[in-house]
Structure 1
Amino acid sequence: MARRVGPAPAAPLLVVGGYGVVGAQVSRLLRQRHPRLPLVLGGRTPRHARALAASIGASTVTVDVGAEEPLAALPERPAAVLAVVSDPDDHLIVDAMRRGIPIADIHRAAPAGILDITVAAARERPPAPVHLSGSWFAGLGALSAAAAVRELGAAERVDITVLASTDDRVGPDSWGFGERLAWPYYPMHDGRRRPTQPLSDLREVRCPDGVVRAAALIGTLEQSTAPLLLRVPTVRTRLALQSRASLYGLVGLKRSGTLRLLARPGLRRVRSALLERPGTGDFAGLTVTASNATRSVSVELLDPSGQAHLSALGAVLAAERVLAPDTAPGISFPEQYAEPAADLDALRRAGVVVRLSGFTRPPGPHPSTTARKDIA
């Protein structure tokens, strides 16, 4: 089953950062799922994308997110933009808003960043969709939560466990997550926001590969959005690393204050050596459990291709979302447009192991979802 997102547009989808660690996989997956969708791979050094673009029938263009108007010099107006790179000064997303170009951004996770974009949207009043897919694995945590909550009917809490590995591949934007680990965040607990320290409350949890590991609380976007969009009083996300020593090392950096010190520009090399060393690859996964007083249901995702591949899949679903003709203008989040049957089928087709526990029927579309045609 292909995710239904409307007829193939004549104008291209612009993938900014479409040739990096995650972006290259995004571009290939888009071509596999939508053979006739026009694709343009954008970035500061498009020459690095030439071989990839040639292999998938895409073109390249220079897009500098550091410029005030990154989209001003495009030779052709895109049908939509998928931002796979960090946009630290909000130039790309605001430029897309002003031009009325639909945009999906997978790097919106920090509370301050979400607040800034919400205020910018109030100012710009974008006439096109602005889809923020910054929860873990580019929105897959939120989509899985939506599937579990809809099956349960009414959930009192959602618990999410992310399984990652320090031996997996990471891109240059990985420090963005590490930096957030240094500061408090505000998850919903019993219907109220409560300040919480990342890497606190260590406890043993069952991971999607069936192994019980230590896991610690972390701040992620779905802890801000899912309580309101899915009406769940408590949403908590934890990080488990395949190496227990690596997790405890990260906790030690947090408790000693070293993570805050590493944010200083002069410690860039030290930060890179400690937290930005890419591995050769490892598996990754996600477990989402929705529960109430009488029942619980779970969605487990396990990807042998690792976290970059899972993030790429989430980004592809986000791109399909903004290309869909029924996506409303303005800001939206993955939970609002989740299509559990299509979402989970897309993951299975891409090689992700998907396990459902406690479901009484196969996941179906949201009742408000209208019929759409596939991109050819």
Structure 2
Amino acid sequence: MGQPESVLILGGTGQAGARAAALLRQWHPALPLTIAGRDIDRAQRVAGELGAATAVTIDLRRSDLGLPADRTYSAVIAALWDDHLHGLRYAQHRGLPYLSISSGLVDIAPEVVAGAQRANAAPILLAGHYCAGTVVLAALHAARRFDRIDTIRISAVLDELDTGGPAGRADLRRWSTATTAGLVRRDGVFTWVAGPDAQADVRSTDGTDLPGRSIAIPDVPSLALATDAPDVRFDFAVGESVGRRRGEPVSFEVRIDLEGTGRGGAPISRSRYLVHPAGQRPLTATGIALGVERLLGLRGEAATPGIHTPEALIDPAYAVERMAETGAAFIGAPGDS
């Protein structure tokens, strides 16, 4: 394929956007990037560090994003909350792929409807999953040895100092305001849980239990429908990470518990931690960069028009390789077979 136009990264000066841009520069040195933010000086600093990148200011309250009419792009990446959906509509009107990471399960409906109304306009990648879909991909990679999956439980710890800056904290507040209930799949039925049913301890790699709860997150339907597992749950705790308890920088950890049967029909289980010594940001950035690759056809075929989720586009084995390059690792959990 020929060289694409520049990738427009809304929120490209933020932690997730800037780090994703750095990964794209590393993986695809000639790929043009446009760092878009409200502060032009900051955008210019990020673009200057990347090389082969430009900087622009944007206004998310405007349908044209405040960009000149003659500017052309290859994709629009919303590494922030696109509250007016002007980034999405900008992409749709120009037939450009679009990726978003801040629309949680309770607020993806406008994006889904917009995509359905213009199903042939361009691909939309809804990556409002934990760490932009990398946890789902890691779980699917761990599931490869199973013939049948009966139960999936994801248990995540987010350090309160690792929420991703002002935009990330705003996302957490918005999601918690929308609902305090969690979504699980129980006996094959997607069910809302609240109160004691939603509460669960989340155990860290050092054995520390943190109070957590089931949350409404796209990872649950993504994993349930990708594996046909009848029981799926995602529990989430915010607290001090193992790294910080050791006097080190904030760290990242997610426990992935799988139960089912192996190729011969014998019951098996697998428990693994996905960990990163630098917190959630490298994995979130990796999820964004992987999505851009597939949307543009930089790896494999370009995504077709319509609504997509990370696991529908990205090979889990390849995703895990990319995660490992950033310093992520799998470690066994007690009781793993």
TM-score normalised according to structure 2 size: 0.85
**1:300 maps to 2:273:** yes
Give the drift of 1:63: 2.4
Comparing 178-187 with 130-139, which one deviates more in the overlay?
178-187
- SS in structure 2 of the partner of residue 295 of structure 1: strand
Q: 1:285 to 1:156 in 2, by over 3 A?
A: same
CA-to-aligned-CA distance 1:47-80 (integer Å, 9 cap, x gap): 3211121111111122222212327635432111
CA-to-aligned-CA distance 1:246-303 (integer Å, 9 cap, x gap): xxxxxxxxxxxxxxxxxxxxxxxxxxxxxxxxxx951112222222261123443211
CA-to-aligned-CA distance 1:111-144 (integer Å, 9 cap, x gap): 3x22221211121224321111111111112212
User: Paired residue for 2:148, among 143, 149, 154?
Assistant: 154
Name 1:191's counterpart in structure 2.
Answer: 188
Letter of the structure 2 residue corresponding to residue 171 of structure 1: G
- SS in structure 1 of the partner of residue 113 of structure 2: helix
Letter of the structure 2 residue corresponding to residue 334 of structure 1: P
Give the drift of 1:348: 0.9
Q: In 2, are the aligned partners of 1:168 and 1:281 still within 8 Å (CA)?
A: no
Letter of the structure 2 residue corresponding to residue 235 of structure 1: V
User: Paired residue for 1:103, among 98, 118, 133?
Assistant: 98
Q: 1:322 to 1:298 in 2, by over 3 A?
A: farther
Q: 1:96 to 1:153 in 2, by over 3 A?
A: farther
Structure in which a larger fraction of residues adopt strand: 2
Name 1:352's counterpart in structure 2.
Answer: 328
Q: In 2, are the aligned partners of 1:181 and 1:219 still within 8 Å (CA)?
A: no
- SS in structure 2 of the partner of residue 66 of structure 1: coil
Q: In 1, are the aligned partners of 2:76 and 2:87 still within 8 Å (CA)?
A: no
Partner Cα separation in structure 1 for residue 126 and residue 272 of structure 2? 22
Give the drift of 1:155: 0.9
Partner Cα separation in structure 2 for residue 211 and residue 121 of structure 1? 44
**1:283 maps to 2:251:** yes
Partner Cα separation in structure 2 for residue 44 and residue 199 of structure 1? 43
Name 2:200's counterpart in structure 1.
Answer: 203
State the number of aligned residues. Answer: 317
Name 1:80's counterpart in structure 2.
Answer: 75
Partner Cα separation in structure 2 for residue 296 and residue 153 of structure 1? 12
Letter of the structure 1 residue corresponding to residue 253 of structure 2: G
Residues 26-105 of structure 1 correspond to what in structure 2 (within 5 A)?
26-57=20-51, 58-70=53-65, 73=68, 75-105=70-100
Residues 1-376 of structure 1 correspond to what in structure 2 (within 5 A)?
9-57=3-51, 58-70=53-65, 73=68, 75-111=70-106, 113-168=107-162, 170-173=164-167, 174-182=169-177, 183=179, 184-197=181-194, 201-207=198-204, 209-214=205-210, 215-243=212-240, 282-292=250-260, 294-324=267-297, 325-355=301-331
Q: 1:130 to 1:304 in 2, by over 3 A?
A: same
Give the drift of 1:356: 6.6
Between the two proteins, what is the percent identity of the paired residues?
26
- SS in structure 2 of the partner of residue 291 of structure 1: strand
RMSD over equivalenced CA pairs, Å: 2.7
Q: In 1, are the aligned partners of 2:104 and 2:175 still within 8 Å (CA)?
A: no
Give the drift of 1:321: 2.2
Q: 1:9 to 1:233 in 2, by over 3 A?
A: farther
CA-to-aligned-CA distance 1:199-230 (integer Å, 9 cap, x gap): 964334443x3434133222211113322233
Q: 1:144 to 1:74 in 2, by over 3 A?
A: farther
Q: In 2, are the aligned partners of 1:81 and 1:101 still within 8 Å (CA)?
A: yes
Give the drift of 1:314: 1.6
Partner Cα separation in structure 2 for residue 71 and residue 98 of structure 1? 15
Name 2:245's counterpart in structure 1.
Answer: none
Moved over 6 A (4+): 356-360
Gaps of 5+ in 2: 242-247, 262-266
TM-score normalised according to structure 1 size: 0.76
Q: 1:155 to 1:45 in 2, by over 3 A?
A: same
